[in-house]
Structure 1
Amino acid sequence: MVHGELSRDFSRCLVFFYKSTPPQGIHATEYQPICQRYKNQYHFASMYHRQHRAPFYSAYILSPADGKRPNSTWMYEPQLVFSRASSDMKPFDSPLSQNVIESQAVLQDYKNSSYTKGHLNPSMHQKTRQDREATFTLTNIVPQRAGSNSGPWSSLEKEMLRKFKAYCEGPMYVITGAMPYEDGARWIDNRVSVPEYMWSAYCCPSYSAHLPQSVQPLFPTYAAVGRNDRESGPEIVPVNPKARASVRGYDVRKMPLDELEGILAQRMATPVSLFQGQCRE
């Protein structure tokens, strides 16, 4: 069984946040905390934006996959339809209830949309098959251009795994999210909000005491922002004109945690803190 548990907070899945503290400064009433539960275990947490029918972020503990990416059945969240519905996240039925369609994103939204289903919590950052299967819910998905999803953003996810394996000596807490447009939302068929940028940050409070000098700035925290729109300006993430055509305009810019928090604070018009105490013990 797949479960997604809704409440007013993350009290049942705080383990996925550093020092059991979710990001601070994200208070919009449209956001719905979801503790993502699968086969009687919590696997990660998502902050879902009801009006945008997409998650704002997913938080998880990175653990390298012990197998391949599963061919999983996509799920939806019954409790986004009715607050007292079963907590079991269910496979999409055919035909779908209109109540489901109105409450959240559905597979039809992505069909012929020119967007891929972009995981915020990527399946290959999860250890067991059950962990990976739990990521295949549309409450963990945003519309992402293929050039980003399979290009620079995929490279960033792989690089994060390498850093974890080489230098992290304890849990690595990750928060990955989607940044909306500053001048108003963009939509798939006036239903699902398309992000202008992807963003991600990690917190590794326990790491090797013998870091190479070139790696020292990357611990205990580091962050990145990736373009999801080729037409966006270069202010946040510059474009590399020498990149191959298929990925040009989907660049990823790496940066210190406080720089990402500053960008998010500007977009959300409120101070943002992703990790308690900047992830310093």
Structure 2
Amino acid sequence: MAYTWPFLAIYFSTKLIVGGGDVGDFTPCLQFFYRSWPPKGLTGTPICQRYNNQYHFASLYSRPRRSPWFSAYVFGVPSGKRPAASWKYEPQLTYPKANGNMAPFPLGPLDLNVVESQAVDPDYTNSTFSRGHLNPSLHHRLHEDRSSTFTLTNVVPQKAGSNDGPWESLEQTVNKTLAAYCIGKAYIVTGIIPYQSQEHWIKNKRVAVPEYLWSSYCCPQFNNSLPQHLRSAFPTYAAIGRNDINSTEEIVPINKSVKKQFFGYDVRQMSLETLEMYLKQRFNTVVSVFYDKCNGQGN
């Protein structure tokens, strides 16, 4: 596939090989999954997301879609201001012998091999989509953890009406709920649901657009004095959000009374079992998000 972006430097192509210690294997970063057990049923390229020589979260990446199926992380109560959006990429998706750290995009020309292997900033520039974090900066305490989320291997094309509206409200709700009532670690997995009939793409047909986003947390140890309205939110909680105002209402109904800019981007809260039912229907395979559905004590 050829690209004519004027700022791309053309390099001689080399064969891309899957490899490297942080791409292709979740083993170095199993601590981001409940009971060290990554979700089952989805296939892709595992990435242990490393920034400044430290692992910060994990993502299952789809090379054909140039976007992640999901990102998994351990929740932290946020501290300080939101870091500046310094966008990064994953060198090992292109060069297996890279040192494993995500890297900032260069100020000058982009390596065409990087462009071929994953999403890059120009994919989102002047498109109708925002960069939608699966692992949001809001759900981390340390500055480096928060900064590490600004990588395009953790991002999907998300409509602003979702990203700045109901989906952001969901992230804020999860933040407040876990901060107030979760004791010990909370494990979160956030992913996407593709369109059923055919793929939808960003403007240049390089990055696939999801029809829905989903998220679920596992908090195995929690405060027993939960208010009545939160008793169904522990130990697990799940939700699916619309990313297309033209989607049917079978999975997520539309709230007719929301503000115009957020109309059609509703989020439906549900049980983990209901979420997994919808994932099974769309992916045509059993998808298990947490080990033993988050029953028992966490690690």
- The interval holding the TM-score normalised by the smaller chain is over 0.9
**Aligned 8 A contact 2:244 2:265 in 1:** yes
Bigger-Rg structure (1/2) = 2
Q: Aligned with 1:13: secondary structure?
A: helix
* One-letter amino acid matched to 1:168: C
Counterpart pick for 2:275 among 237, 242, 260: 260
TM-score by length of 1: 0.95
Counterpart pick for 2:218 among 203, 209, 213: 203
Q: Aligned with 1:88: secondary structure?
A: coil
Superposed CA RMSD: 1.2
* One-letter amino acid matched to 2:167: W
Structure 2 residue aligned with 1:90: 103
Deviation at 1:122, TM superposition (A): 0.4
Counterpart pick for 2:234 among 198, 206, 219: 219
Deviation at 1:6, TM superposition (A): 2.9
**Aligned 8 A contact 1:223 1:255 in 2:** yes
Structure 2 residue aligned with 1:10: 26
What is the correspondence of 1:125-164 to structure 2 with a 5 Å cutoff? 125-164=139-178
Q: Aligned with 1:6: secondary structure?
A: coil
- In the TM superposition, what whole-angstrom CA distance separates every residue of 1:14-48 from its partner, at most 9, and x where no partner exists? 0000000000112x3xx110001122221100000
Whether 1:169 aligns to 2:186 is: no
Distance verdict in 2 for CA 1:62–1:158, change over 3 Å: same
Structure 1 residue aligned with 2:288: 273
Q: Aligned with 2:156: secondary structure?
A: strand
Counterpart pick for 2:258 among 212, 229, 243: 243
C-alpha distance in 1 between matches for 2:279 and 2:256:
26
Structure 1 residue aligned with 2:7: none
Deviation at 1:5, TM superposition (A): 5.1
% same residue: 53
TM-score by length of 2: 0.90
C-alpha distance in 2 between matches for 1:275 and 1:220:
11
C-alpha distance in 2 between matches for 1:161 and 1:88:
27
**Aligned 8 A contact 2:70 2:134 in 1:** yes
Counterpart pick for 1:45 among 55, 58, 69: 58
**Aligned 8 A contact 2:69 2:192 in 1:** yes
Q: Aligned with 1:177: secondary structure?
A: strand
C-alpha distance in 2 between matches for 1:243 and 1:155:
13
Deviation at 1:244, TM superposition (A): 1.0
Deviation at 1:58, TM superposition (A): 0.3
Q: Structure 1 regions of 5+ residues with no counterpart?
A: none
Deviation at 1:124, TM superposition (A): 1.2
Q: Aligned with 2:59: secondary structure?
A: strand
C-alpha distance in 1 between matches for 2:287 and 2:165:
28
C-alpha distance in 2 between matches for 1:221 and 1:85:
37
C-alpha distance in 2 between matches for 1:7 and 1:95:
25
- In the TM superposition, what whole-angstrom CA distance separates every residue of 1:175-206 from its partner, at most 9, and x where no partner exists? 00111101111011110000000100000000
Q: Aligned with 1:199: secondary structure?
A: strand
Deviation at 1:84, TM superposition (A): 2.1
